[in-house]
Amino acid sequence: MSASGSKPSIGFIGIGFMGHGMAKNIVEAGYALTVMAHRNRAPVEDLIGRGAKEAKSPREIAETADIVFLCVTGSPQVRAVTEGENGLAAAGRKLIIVDCSTSDPSVTVPLAESLAARNITLLDAPLGRTPKDAWEGTLDVMIGGAAEDIARVRPVIDTFAQRVIHTGQTGTGHTMKLLNNFLSMGYGALYAEALMLGAKAGLSAETFHSVIAGGRMDCGFYQTFMQYVVGRDRNAHKFTLNNALKDTAYLNAFAVAQGAANPLAAAVRNSYAQAVGAGRGDDFVPMLADFIAEANGVKRAE
């Protein structure tokens, strides 16, 4: 690790909607930052312009970084960048990996044990809120791991988060994130179906919104959802239906592993599965309202 009193070197893999803003805040806080491109060059060029460096592989990042943040799609991608060929572990260095992805806790726990044998500490630190919050440094973070390890990464996390909750041992962060996304994606499915039923009865989305907004059923997720439905702001909630389906599928697998019946979660998953199966996976979550409406003969959820 870096010498006492100096800032650790940071690596960041996954500079998409959330990761770009997080990495921006890290480099602007004065940390030496190395990033890796995937498909979109624009975030890489922006971060280089702010002082970051670019690496060609996870191994190259691990050769100089003390702490590496991951913000990738899910567990398969996490395993690929950690244990795959030219992965982080291939560098053979002591390292802390902070997985900010929404991953499967049944994968996270054994992966942490495997990496520990190679002198690598894995913390799970999934995120709450939106890409706008990532950019503004106001994310929520649920983090699992030993308190002393969390203390080492906390100053870096504080550059992009306004609220950090220690959930327990490694794996509990990802478990809490699945529960959080069960609630949020469940809201999305409920809103879409309610808007469709209202439209069938002649109630516009604007009327629906005028009743719900400001009442007891209002919340931040509802506001960004309706910012698209009523305001047609495509960027109000940039979380894809593909990711929603992935997260709800993880939750259902978790329920099976726990031997629990979860009929509500299964229904929520199927709402997103239908939209993804119809080719709408790259749409954002509020656009589920359009799909549900169209599937029921309504042009728009209004």
Q: DSSP string covering 258-294, please?
A: TT---HHHHHHHHHHHHHHHTT-TTSBGGGHHHHHHH
pLDDT digits 0-9 by tens, 10-43? 999 999 999 999 999 999 999 999 999 777 899 9
For helices 75-83 and 105-116, angle between their N-to-C axes, nearest 10 degrees: 10
Query: What backbone phi and psi angles, to 5 degrees, belong to 124?
Result: -105, 125
User: Which of the residues 7, 177, 200, 299 is marked catalytic?
Assistant: 177
Q: How much is the mean pLDDT over the chain? A: 94
pLDDT at residue 63 above 80? yes
pLDDT for position 83 = 95
Kindly state the average pLDDT of the residues 231-259.
93
**Confidence band for 5, pLDDT divided at 50, 70 and 90:** low
pLDDT for position 195 = 97
**Confidence band for 218, pLDDT divided at 50, 70 and 90:** very high
**Confidence band for 3, pLDDT divided at 50, 70 and 90:** very low
Length of the chain: 302
pLDDT digits 0-9 by tens, 122-174? 999 999 998 999 999 999 999 999 999 999 999 999 999 999 999 999 999 99
pLDDT for position 300 = 67
**Confidence band for 50, pLDDT divided at 50, 70 and 90:** very high
Backbone dihedral region for residue 51 (phi beyond 0: left; psi -120 to 50: alpha; all else: beta): left
Residue 177 designated active-site: yes
Residues in Cβ contact with 103 at an 8 Å cutoff, skipping those fewer than 6 apart? 74, 75, 78, 124, 126, 174, 250
> d(Cα 263, Cα 247) in Å, to the nearest integer?
16
DSSP strand pairing (127-128 vs 139-144): antiparallel
pLDDT for position 302 = 44
Strands (E), 39-152: 53-55, 67-70, 95-99, 120-124, 127-128, 139-144
Neighbours of 42 (CB within 10 A): 10
pLDDT at residue 99 above 50? yes
> d(Cα 116, Cα 134) in Å, to the nearest integer?
29
Residues in Cβ contact with 32 at an 8 Å cutoff, skipping those fewer than 6 apart? 7, 9, 10, 53
For helices 220-229 and 205-212, angle between their N-to-C axes, nearest 10 degrees: 160
**Confidence band for 1, pLDDT divided at 50, 70 and 90:** very low
In single-letter form, the type of residue at position 230 comes to: V
pLDDT for position 4 = 40
